[in-house]
Amino acid sequence: SYVLTQPPAVSVAPGKTASIACGGDNIGSKSVHWYQQKAGQAPVVVIYYNDERPSGIPERFSGSNSGNTATLAISRVEAGDEADYYCQVWDSISDHRVFGGGTKLTVL
Amino acid sequence: QVQLVQSGAEVKKPGASVKVSCKASGYSFSDNYVNWVRQAPGQGLEWMGIINPSVGRKHYAQQFQGRVAMTSDTSTSTAYMELSSLGSEDTAVYYCARGGGTSGYYFDTWGQGTLVTVPS
């Protein structure tokens, strides 16, 4: 089935921009969704359909998708952004929803 | 507001079954798919399957075929996930998650999670 690859960890200083990659074969042809999961909590969608932001999610969160890599960018990073982030797609061949392995974002 | 409330934590013996419930409120239950996702301790998210509450049609991830059963009750706006032949590797937090939009390809609302523990 379709495989999504994420770096296990990303570190960023407060106020800087964090970029979290999600790799997959021709992922640019798919719609990518991103979730934030803080410690001990359920995941929350922060980006859907590549670059759409749900109501209540700050404009600092943005998404892009092209070629073999989708990217979640978080600008002006705050301590409260520290969390695990997961990308997710729908695999049309298997009709499965697929998650990446997750990336732990650390705010230095 | 849209809300999914799950049943409480469970401890099960190896070989037993567990049934987790997910009660929806704040929207028309039949209008959106319900997914089940699990997360083993310290691990990532794993999609288990999906059910269309309107018609009862379901689709399971291959690794759970034959061991999982998802059902729904539109009269109580509740979805259920039953997992059988439990082993220690099934110890995890189990989430229900509403499919977003008309396609249901992403998850716009999550339950609070249900911890299922299977001691080895």
* pLDDT bracket for residue B102 (50, 70, 90): confident
DSSP 8-class letter at B86: -
Summarised one tens digit per residue, pLDDT across range B38-97 is 999 999 999 999 999 999 999 999 999 999 999 999 999 999 999 999 999 999 999 999
- Given a cut of 90, is residue B104 above it in pLDDT? no
Per-residue model confidence as pLDDT tens digits over B11-31: 999 999 999 999 999 999 999
Interchain proximity B112–A45, CB inside 8 Å: no
Shortest distance between the Cα of B100 and any Cα of chain A, in A, equals: 9
CB contact under 8 A, A97 and B45: no
Shortest CA distance to B116 belongs to which of B36, B3, B34? B36
Main-chain phi, psi angles of B31, to 5 degrees: -85, -15
What pLDDT, on the 0 to 100 scale, is given for residue A1? 87
Q: To probe the interface with A, which of B95, B105, B108, B114 has the most A CB atoms within 10 Å? A: B105
How far is the alpha carbon of A15 from chain B, nearest alpha carbon, in Å? Answer: 27
Gap from B96 CA to chain A (nearest CA, Å): 10
Q: Of A43, A54, A95, which has the smallest distance from its Cβ to B45's Cβ?
A: A43
Residue B1: per-residue pLDDT? 95
A2 within 8 A of A89, measured Cβ to Cβ: yes
Task: Quote the pLDDT of residue B101.
Answer: 86
Please tell me the predicted confidence (pLDDT) of residue B103. Answer: 86
Interface residues of chain A, partner chain B, Cβ below 8 Å: 1, 31, 33, 35, 37, 42-45, 48-49, 54, 84, 86, 88, 90, 94-102
CA gap A37, A105 in Å, rounded: 10
pLDDT of residue B28: 97
* Residue-wise DSSP of A3-68: --B--SEEEE-TTS-EEEEEE-TTGGGS--EEEEE-TTS--EEEEBTTTB--TTS-TTEEEEEETT
Answer yes or no: do A44 and B110 touch at CB < 8 A: yes
Averages of pLDDT over runs of 10 residues in chain A (108 residues) are: 97 98 98 98 98 97 98 98 98 96 98
Between chains, do A86 and B45 touch, taking CB under 8 Å as contact? yes
Q: Quick check: B110 and A1 CB within 8 A?
A: no
pLDDT in tens, A43-73: 999 999 999 999 999 999 999 999 999 999 9
